[in-house]
Amino acid sequence: MKIKPDEMLKINTKPPKAHWMDVPPDFSEGKYLYPAKPKTLEYLHLPNPRDWSPADEDWKLPENWQKIIHDGFKERLDKYRSLKVFMDICVRCGACADKCHFYIGGGDPKNMPVLRAELLRSIYRNDFTIFGKLFGRLAGARKLTPQVIKEWFSYLYQCTECRRCSVFCPYGIDTAEITMMGRELLNLIGVNINWIKDPVSNCSRTGNHLGIQPQNFKEIIEFFCDDIEEITGVKINPSFNRKGAEVLFVTPSGDAFADPGTYTFMGYLMLFEHIGLDYTLSTYASEGGNFGLFTSSDMMKKLNAKMYHEAKRLGVKHIIGGECGHMWRVINQYMDTMNGPADFLEVPKSPITGTVFNSAASTKMIHIAEFTADLIRNNKLKLDPSRNDHLRVTWHDSCNTARAMGLLDEPRYVLNAVCNNVFEMPPSTTREYTFCCGSGSGTNTEEIMEQRLRGGLPRANAVKYVHDKYDVNMLGCVCAIDRAVLPPLMDYWVPGVAVTGLHELVGNALVMDGEIERTLNLRMEDLPGAEGDTDE
């Protein structure tokens, strides 16, 4: 990054003189996401595949694009009460303004949630309200011009749908809901981004966002098992696509692909081996995440359908889901409605502790943190937290698990059982007030690095606070996107802080049956003290 942190911190919060409707969006290099490739859209049967760039003057919109947007807007108003109510009741009190991480880190007034919503509201007023039709701009309405589409594209992808603003809104107006509808509308005219559409098309075809084919998926996991054997001396042979297993385990494919998520995946494998869980992985339902959520409800449904479909085919009793943020938004708030009822599954019951998870009585799917917390509570795991003693850990609540689910204390319980040094960040930045990593909702791509670093500032700054105060050197989280994007964020704002998933820490602390004396952690780094012991 060319801009140094101290320059990045000079944030101009003064709104421009011109009315916001007259300020055009910035499409200089580095300020926009790359559009989806025509091939990808064709594969997904999505409209208007073409070669184009947001930097172009002409976006090659379909001929009747205004009508498509108008009709699409109307359809969504009729389908979603949330949209209709949120379009109507905002009083512009401004309470949401400085709750958005992009606004805090960048100062662009269109990143205030209220103004982001106004981008759509202005069109809504023009097309669907009496005052808007009568008084036009005086009533806050404006005509749908190509510049509006450009503005939508720019700012609807400068929202990570983290819902922090909706915690503070006196009417619970959720910008994520508005952004999701706006993105659906843009999809109708072929204005979409590659970083979302590629994973979506991969996921359709290979079962996961990264396009990992079945044989490679198996190889990757086996590779993890080799590492685990080297570290612990325990040989693990996980099964794939096995019918008759008790549990299907689904986690985001990011954990199979890139560090440090891979270590978290190893943690899952070690845990399941240690407790003797009868489970299987699927190469078909090999994606927990769902970039369909960032496209349209239809796409979300199609990608999510695989989980129940595969669970039914394999005849498992229930599903355990791995650490992922938006995956759990989908599972908690959409899955059962979209693809249920899962009446072919049973209410999840831990085969180890006998605990029945009535909180998932209908979805039949539990979060691994819930599962592990229950194991620890019932003393089913032998843990040596001192193996994590060189770590001083703070906890990042992921937006979706915090504000679209409420998974707050389960991971903390596990964390405190496997680590001795845990420090909380300031309360205005954790739990339901948690800050986004700055790269959620399909925007975790390189071309907009400045936007990501700015959006990640509030989170990083809170980490810096505990880093300075308590020497925190590890940031824990339960989200695959976090694991992918927090490392560069930390390197930029708080060098010296690494990122880990919860079950990597569990894997390190877990004392497995028949294991050798551990000298390495899951990252193949020497455990502190292990070296020293031989010296003495």
Partner 1 sequence: MIVNILMSLVAVVVLGAIAFAGGSVPGLQMVFGIWIPYAAAVIFLLGFIWRIFKWAKSPVPFRIPTTCGQQKSLSWIKHNSIDNPTTTKGVILRMFFEIVTFRSLFRNTKSRVIGDRVSYEWEIWLWLAALAFHYSFLTVVIRHMRLFLEPVPACIGIIETLDSFFQVGLPVVFASGLVLLGAALYLFARRVLIPQVKYISMIADYFPLFLIIGIAGTGLYMRYFLRVDIHAIKQLTMGLVTLKATVPPANVSPMLYAHLFLVSALLIYFPFSKLMHMGGVFLSPTRNLANNSRIKRHINPWNPDLEFVTYEKYENEFREKMIEAGLPVEKES
- Per CB under 8 A, which region of 33-41, 199-207, 439-447, 523-531 contacts partner 1? 199-207
Cβ of residue 406: shortest distance to partner 1, in angstroms?
Answer: 3
108 binds partner 1 (CB under 8 A): no
Give the three-state DSSP class for 143: coil
309 binds partner 1 (CB under 8 A): yes
DSSP string, 224-268: HHHHHHHHHS------BS-TT-SEEEE--THHHHSTTHHHHHHHH
Q: In the window 487-526, what residues touch partner 1 (CB under 8 A)?
A: none
Q: Is 417 within 8 Å of 439 (Cβ atoms)?
A: no
Cβ of residue 209: shortest distance to partner 1, in angstroms?
Answer: 14
Per-residue tokens: 54? 């947001």
- Stretch 54-93: interaction string toward partner 1, x if CB under 8 A: -----------------------xxxxxxxxxx-xxxxxx
Cβ of residue 530: shortest distance to partner 1, in angstroms?
Answer: 34
Q: Is 472 within 8 Å of 442 (Cβ atoms)?
A: no
Burial 35-56 (b: 16+ CB within 10 A, else e): bbbeebbebbebebbeebebee
Alpha carbon distance 436, 495 (integer Å): 19
Cβ of residue 147: shortest distance to partner 1, in angstroms?
Answer: 19
Q: Is 274 within 8 Å of 384 (Cβ atoms)?
A: no
Q: In the window 359-398, what residues touch partner 1 (CB under 8 A)?
A: 359-363, 365, 370, 373-374, 377
Cβ of residue 283: shortest distance to partner 1, in angstroms?
Answer: 6
The tokens 């190893």 sit on which residue? 266
- Per CB under 8 A, which region of 53-61, 150-158, 161-169, 385-393 contacts partner 1? 161-169
Alpha carbon distance 126, 112 (integer Å): 22
Is it true that the peptide bond before 341 is cis, omega within 30 degrees of 0? yes
Q: In the window 112-131, what residues touch partner 1 (CB under 8 A)?
A: 112, 114-115, 118, 129-131
Cβ of residue 60: shortest distance to partner 1, in angstroms?
Answer: 28
When binding is defined by CB under 8 A, the residue of 215, 237, 379, 534 that contacts partner 1 is 215
Alpha carbon distance 292, 4 (integer Å): 35
Q: Is 344 within 8 Å of 323 (Cβ atoms)?
A: no
Q: In the window 313-352, what residues touch partner 1 (CB under 8 A)?
A: 313, 331-334, 336-338, 340-341
When binding is defined by CB under 8 A, the residue of 34, 413, 423, 470 that contacts partner 1 is 413
Alpha carbon distance 237, 523 (integer Å): 20
529 binds partner 1 (CB under 8 A): no
- Stretch 168-197: interaction string toward partner 1, x if CB under 8 A: xxxxxxx--x--------------------
Cβ of residue 388: shortest distance to partner 1, in angstroms?
Answer: 22
Give the three-state DSSP class for 206: helix
